[in-house]
Amino acid sequence: MSRLISTFALLALALPAAAGTTAITGGKVHTVGPQGTIENATILIVDGRIAAIGDDVEVPAGAETIDAAGKIITPGLFSPFGQLGLVEVGLSAGPSDFAQRGSQFTAGFDVADAYNRRSSLIAINRIEGVTRAVVAPMPGYPNESGAGAGHILAGLAAIVNLGDDNALDRRAAAMVVTLGEYGAALSGGTRTAAWLTLRNALDEALDYREHKGDFERGMRRDYVHSMNDLEALQGVVNGNTPMIVGVDRASDIEVLIELVNEYGVTAIISGGSEAWMLASELATAGIAVIAGPSANLPGNFDRINARLGSASILINAGVKVAIADADARTHNARNLTQSAGNAVALGLDWDAALRAITLSPAEIYGMAATTGSIEPGKAADIVIWPADPLELTNYPEQVFINGEAMPMVSRQTLLRDRYLQTDMPPAYRK
């Protein structure tokens, strides 16, 4: 296979090897890029980025070399939706930093400032291959008295990397919108009110864009939403910020397609139990889906037509799909490989399944220029596996984020090792 090296890579090879140069050699690399799968490949990493990838890449003198012979190498996993770093114990008395409540702050509710890169959940998911994640708000559930309920506009999601430093990759990466059955519950008990609330918000954002000078001159217009919320919605109406829309029922998805065409906004469906019924329409509209390939139980009347193999149907129709079951988020975002493996068992091509947990989420969120595949110039988010990563019992041997080897240690592994010791004091043997 001919060597594909960028101008950046050629420059790197022409210079003396520095402390920031690493070569991973001998592995079978699934690039999820134009080079496909490369046997006995070498990946050259310079200053946190991939400089070269191929089966005849020369390793510069002085470079740190990692022998990956007999191993499988993939891009880092990309969790497309969850609350990593926004919650530690879901049912604890502590604050739920992802929960949007009330109507004072809705579209402008931005979770980026609440992200905790030191959360114990970060390392737990990182050592199993997750390198990037979308952290998103969700509308709060009402308490017994009905107070504390959220809004259909839950606010702004962010994209983070699970490295130790500079974790925040992008603020305002998406706007979270809840429709369907739960959206109706947040809007007085009717879907019509939920759709009207969303349309009104978009209409006000468009009007605010045209009359922003009125605010600057102190002449406030009569809007339902605050200026903070309308500012947050500008990215949506400009087409730069996608809406992550929680919706399952096919009839709701049909309305969403109409709304996307009417307003020229970008939408990503989260859930989409019945999205497979409208696969060709979604492909035409350019609406992506975050899908759980094994979610086939009709948990409510919005999911009557949920079925196995929906991810395959959507992908085969040309829909961009990111795989993540509802249980493969936040605490168990690491279960992305299990979800992808289930999709393969249900008929999805293996390479397409790997793409759905790496490059496809990056493409959906506009991050594909910098991450999601092993290509020259991209961030060196790389995972070394002992064997097939979609097999349930295979775990990463090493994870790199931005070219840095991550410590393969978490709170769980520390506890495991602590209690496996046989020479502990009696108090620890119980």
DSSP states of 49-89:
EEEEEESSPPPPTT-EEEE-TT-EEEEPEEE-S--TTT-SS
The pLDDT value given to residue 2: 38
**Which has the minimum average pLDDT: 190-199, 259-268, 298-307?**
298-307
CA atoms within 13 A on the CB side of 86: 26
Burial 25-34 (b: 16+ CB within 10 A, else e): bbbbbbbbbe
Q: Identify whether the C-beta of residue 336 lies closer than 8 Å to the C-beta of residue 292.
A: no
Residue 6 neighbours by CB under 8 Å, 6+ apart: 51, 52, 376, 377
pLDDT > 70? residue 16: no
175, β-bridge pairs: 156, 243
pLDDT > 50? residue 45: yes
Measure Cα distances from 63 to 47, 55, 404 in Å. Answer: 12, 17, 14
The pLDDT value given to residue 165: 78
The pLDDT value given to residue 9: 41
pLDDT > 50? residue 198: yes
**Which has the minimum average pLDDT: 81-90, 193-202, 399-408?**
81-90
Cα gap 130→124, rounded to integer Å: 9
Name residue, tokens 């019509």: 192
For residue range 111-133, what is the model confidence (pLDDT) as tens digits? 999 999 999 999 999 999 999 99
- Residue 209, both tokens: 């864009």
pLDDT > 60? residue 11: no
pLDDT > 90? residue 365: yes
Sign of CA dihedral 298, 303, 307, 310: negative
**Prediction pTM value:** 0.91
**pLDDT, average across residues 46-68:** 96
Residue 343 neighbours by CB under 8 Å, 6+ apart: 293, 294, 311, 312, 323, 353, 356
**pLDDT, average across residues 21-41:** 97
